[in-house]
Structure 1
Amino acid sequence: MDIRTVGVIGAGTIGRGVAQSFAQSGFDVVLVDISQRQLDSAVAQVKDDLRLQGLFRPGHLKEEPEAVLDRITTATDLADLARADFVVENVTENWDVKRGVYESIDRICAPGVVFGVNTSAVPVTRVGSVTGRPQDVLGLHFMNPVPLMDTVEVVQGYHTSQQTLDSSLALLTALGKEGIVVQDVPGFVTNRVLMLTINEAVFCVQDQVATADQVDRMFKGCFGHRMGPLETGDLIGLDTILNSLTVMYESFKDSKYRPAPLLQKMVDAGQLGRKSGHGFYPY
């Protein structure tokens, strides 16, 4: 299928980054969210991000921000995805929510349209099972900030066809990104390792072994990481970290994935990281 229009579901941090990446690469984008306010905020943020790219990475932005923005249309109804040739979903890591989305778009989108599941831990095979096209469903785990990250974790579900993999990898190449194909196990590779690291760092703070700043400084100073695990948690969103750990804990029935009580407490308090203005650090 010739891919010209990409549907992006969810206008949060990752969703808007996915929309920006496709629009910058010449694709028309339909960005869908239940909140028009969220959509307006996402478009405004994309505009700011494009201007910053123009200032700090002049060779990266090949046209004026307005030209990129003209390729993004917004909608609050999934029915607007009927014209999409490819769909990337970025909603919350809540199975009940994801299931409803896929049951809907399976009826709306044309046969052969691929569904890319941008998930941290929900099994791709489970997502495919609620559609009539499991062969056209795969995981596309984009990292934050999406426009600046060159690699995408591509997850092959039990029924994902080779054609779906090939077309998706070619699409990522058109975005200037490399797709690395892994198998469908909760957490895959990146989050199976990363979420445990962040969770254990939270335990270190909870147990008063070290402060958040000390933990992060050691990871940057000792291991050469650009960000420490708690800074990374704040960037991703502590609610997303909690949801991902919960999915893996329930999937593997292994206590090593048990979320730190402090993590649960911070999420309950609304201290989610950058998105809320406060997490392990103020923003």
Structure 2
Amino acid sequence: KRVAREEEPKRTVPKIKYKYEFDGVKYKYLRHLALAVIAKYVKDNPKTTYDELKNAFDLKLRFNNKPLIRLKKDLTEDEIKRKRAFIDAPIRLTDGNVVVVNNQFQWMDEQDFKETVNSLGIEYKDLQKEKEIEVLEKLLNEIKKLEKPVEESEEGNNNILKGSGNKKQTPSTRQSSSNNNISEDKQRYEFNGIKYKCLRHLALAVVTKYVKDNPRITYDELKNAFNIKLSFNNKPLIRLKKDLTEDEVKRKRAFIDVPIKLADGNVVVVNNQFQRYDEPCFMDMMQKLGYKN
């Protein structure tokens, strides 16, 4: 059975087996959650017609550009053969139409699906997101430590800032052990004595530290210092918070919860849409700023 692979952005927390919970049942994949939500919606609205159901769940999946709700009779022979929808779980509606749920989800469809079901008053738990928020809160607490001027301890405590401004901070990458199930991304980074599991969090820590070490820096100077664009959205690493679109804020395309106020009054945020392709550019940029890789 071949279905579209649900590729996801690199996780910074343990991948849990069941990512979603709806109506007391846990689901591993978004496509199975979608089937359960739609089946429950039809059960709760037994008189709904095909047009009403299609309008209620009015979105197209990116993989095949097909609507989420499809008439079973409209499926092509190839789609049936490849099971491009849940053909084994047809839903008969009150108007006589038989529909099936498109199962070609990708991770990029998740936000659209969530907005759609929320608009219908339907809620489900995103267990993976809850775990990520927990880890991010811990990360933010670590970053706050960077903002507190402290002296270097005799033991060289790795969780506090170094006292000497002449010492270069050294980011490093290493491979995780094969039995470490923390993340699919085996790259690990270390900066200023703190370890990071994801490049975007390393970038946030580096920019925060750079601004702290250069308290009079302006937006133009900071933008020139970190002069790279990320391949995912072709946006610069350093962005003015006021320039973010409503959609970017909603989808958290930058670290909007960690704004950085500069000496010239501008408030900037760090673009978090990193991909593997961005790693060499970011590391080269760090070397130019005096950091060793």
TM-score w.r.t. the length of structure 2 is 0.27
The higher radius of gyration belongs to 2
Q: Larger relative CO (CA 8 A, sep 6+): 1 or 2?
A: 2
